Amino acid sequence: MNNRIEIINENVLEGQQKRLSAEVQAVLAEDLNPETILTEGMVAAMAEVGRFFEEDEYFVPEMLIAARTMQAGLSLLNPHLAEANVQSAATIAIGTVKGDLHDIGKNLVAMMPEGAAFEIIDPGTDVSVEKFVEAVKKNDIQILALSTLLTTSMENMKVTVNALEEAGLRSKVKVMIGGAPINTTYAREIGANGYSAEASQAVPLAKQLIQ
């Protein structure tokens, strides 16, 4: 690995935002391939962050700091990626369903694919069925991710899937669901494409769904 790329990798891993920004600017000035900077410098670092998390070396705060560091670097890189026609892995819209204000789980899940160079659209919490449908209609979304912590809001996942069907949009997106009261059976029942029991499984599931 190029030495500069290694430094970028380390800065993401350690959450050193200022150092990362300086380093990204330096490597861009050296005409390094922006895709290489992204994949070997940043995405690889976030994969390592994910491994640390799985091995209980990192908690979410460390992951979040690393993810935000990566986002800071990515904001410098994006114009160069666009110029080189490098596209994100996919776009995921993720929100908590109507009647539910919980967002920690949703935010944790959103953080994971962001670190794997997915683009994230986040309509927030207590999101109406209409708003989800609108998000799918108006954006080039490959995956719609629905979250809830409440059994009394679960039905709105089913209602959302049905609404996509009625709007003729169901085949446009893959739907993945998650949250404490959710399980694989429920996902199957409502016609979702996948269920993620843990935030850390969101990226493998998302990659599987877009294949």
Partner 1 sequence: MKEYRSLSINNIDDFLFGVSPNPITLKNGLTIGKGTVYPELNFTLPTMIIDKTTLPEVCAQYTQMIEGVCKRAVELQIDGFVVEYELLPELTLEPEWGVEVTKILRDTLNKTEAKHGIKTALRVTPNDIREFARPPFLRQGKYVDAMFRSFELNAAAGADFLAIESTGGKEIHDEAIITGDLATSVFSLGILGAHDMAFLWDRIVDISNTYNVIPAGDTACGFANTAMVLAEGKFIPRVWAAVIRVLTVARSLVAYERGALGPSKDCAYEGPFLKAITGYPIALEGAEAACAHLSPIGNITKAVADLWSNESVNNVKLLGAMAPTVSMEQLIYATRLMNASSSEGPQYARKMRDWCVASDAGLDPQAYILRPDVVLDLSSAIISEPTAYLRTRRAALETVDLLRKASEAGEFTLSRVETRWLNRLSRQAEELPEDEDQFIAQMLELVDRKKVRLEEYDIQG
Which residues contact partner 1 by CB under 8 A? 56-57, 59-61, 64-65, 99, 101, 103-104, 107-108, 124-126, 151-152, 154-156, 181
Of the pair 2, 107, the CB lying nearest partner 1 is at 107
Of the pair 38, 157, the CB lying nearest partner 1 is at 157
Of the pair 53, 118, the CB lying nearest partner 1 is at 53
- Residue 119 three-state SS: strand
CA dihedral 181, 151, 128, 87 (to 10 degrees): 0
Nearest distance, CB of residue 107 and partner 1, angstroms: 7
Nearest distance, CB of residue 25 and partner 1, angstroms: 26
Of the pair 92, 157, the CB lying nearest partner 1 is at 157
- Rounded (10°) angle between helices 17-29 and 3-14: 160
Of the pair 27, 161, the CB lying nearest partner 1 is at 161
87 touches 113 (CB < 8 A): no
Nearest distance, CB of residue 14 and partner 1, angstroms: 13
Contacts of 128 (CB under 8 A, 6+ apart): 98
Of 55, 61, 135, nearest to 94 by C-alpha is: 135
Nearest distance, CB of residue 160 and partner 1, angstroms: 13
Nearest distance, CB of residue 52 and partner 1, angstroms: 10
Own/partner long-range contacts of 56-61 (Cβ < 8 Å, ≥24 apart): 60/108
Nearest distance, CB of residue 151 and partner 1, angstroms: 4
Question: Alpha-carbon distance 157 to 186, whole Å?
Answer: 10
Instruction: Quickly list DSSP for 136-168.
Output: HHHS--SEEEEE-S-GGGTHHHHHHHHHHHHTT
Of the pair 28, 197, the CB lying nearest partner 1 is at 197
